[in-house]
Amino acid sequence: NFRGPYINIPVFSSLRKLSSSVLKKVHLTSKIEGRLNLKMLESSAFPMDNPMPSPMESQFTPSRYKGNHPGAGFFHLIFKVLAWLIYMFGETFLGRNYIFIFVVVVLLLAADFWVVKNVTGRLMVNLRWWNDIKEDGTSNWQFESGDMDAVHSFDSTFFWTVLYGSVVLWSLNLVASVLGSWKYLPLVTVAVLLGSANAMGYTKCRTDAKKRLQDWLTNNAVDMITRNPDMLKSAAMTGMGTLKNFAMSRGSAPTTGP
């Protein structure tokens, strides 16, 4: 037990000196660590002119899907692949169970038809179609289209290639079934019809979207000319002046004899 101010003061002063020396060491250590970190950043292992890729950039590596909708691209393909593989190799791995193979393939084709018609087309190419059946039995095609400039080129190429490619593949299987065994002819016919329906619907939808865009541009041009007749006059005068200058230059060009 320390008693009296003459004993406590030296003790406190020594503690104060000890704490100040510890703080100086900690400060010096933090300075050294900061300089080391700065040198590591400036070294060749972490070049500043070639920064680390962000998670968004590292997602689109050459070995992965290059479009904006990899999930939609996966579901755009997976049902088609599974249906075709079970059709081709179902009897080899599942036995000669025709009813089971028929039901599974038809369910996969129906799931693919619904996903392509309602999900992947809207996400990957900004298109959507449906067909309304009226009371008199006639069909009415309905189309929706979004901003086509926002569609990623890889998404569009992947969508149309897989869509048309599946129809071509099932059509070849249909020809093989007609020329060979007719056992799976109804199943292949269902696959061709469902795939062709989606291909036809999206082809008409794309044509309709292009037509709407052309009509919109034409109407805007006509409206602009109607509201600004001086613009048409100036354009005509400019065109006439260009033609006149061209004719004068052709007339004043030197002719070479034989």
Compute the C-alpha angle 11/14/18, nearest 5°.
140
Q: What is the mean pLDDT of residues 62-81?
A: 88
Higher pLDDT, 195 or 22: 195
Cα distance between residue 141 and residue 117, in whole Å: 13
**Residue pLDDT, tens place only, 118-174:** 999 999 999 998 888 877 878 778 888 888 788 899 999 999 999 999 999 999 999
Higher pLDDT, 220 or 60: 220
Which residues, in sequence order, are bridge partners of residue 133?
A: 139
pLDDT at residue 101 above 90?
yes
Is the whole model's pTM more than 0.75, yes or no? no
Q: What is the mean pLDDT of residues 222-228?
A: 67
**Residue pLDDT, tens place only, 184-214:** 999 999 999 999 999 999 999 988 878 776 6
Cα distance between residue 66 and residue 152, in whole Å: 9
Residue 50: per-residue pLDDT: 42
Q: What is the mean pLDDT of residues 11-34?
A: 51
pLDDT range class, residue 112, cuts 50, 70, 90: very high
Under a CB-based contact definition with an 8 Å cutoff, are residues 38 and 48 in contact? no
Cα distance between residue 196 and residue 187, in whole Å: 14
Cα distance between residue 232 and residue 48, in whole Å: 55
Across all residues in the chain, what is the average pLDDT? 75
Under a CB-based contact definition with an 8 Å cutoff, are residues 126 and 145 in contact? yes
pLDDT at residue 235 above 50?
yes
**Residue pLDDT, tens place only, 74-86:** 999 999 999 999 9
Higher pLDDT, 24 or 149: 149
Single-letter residue type at 200: M
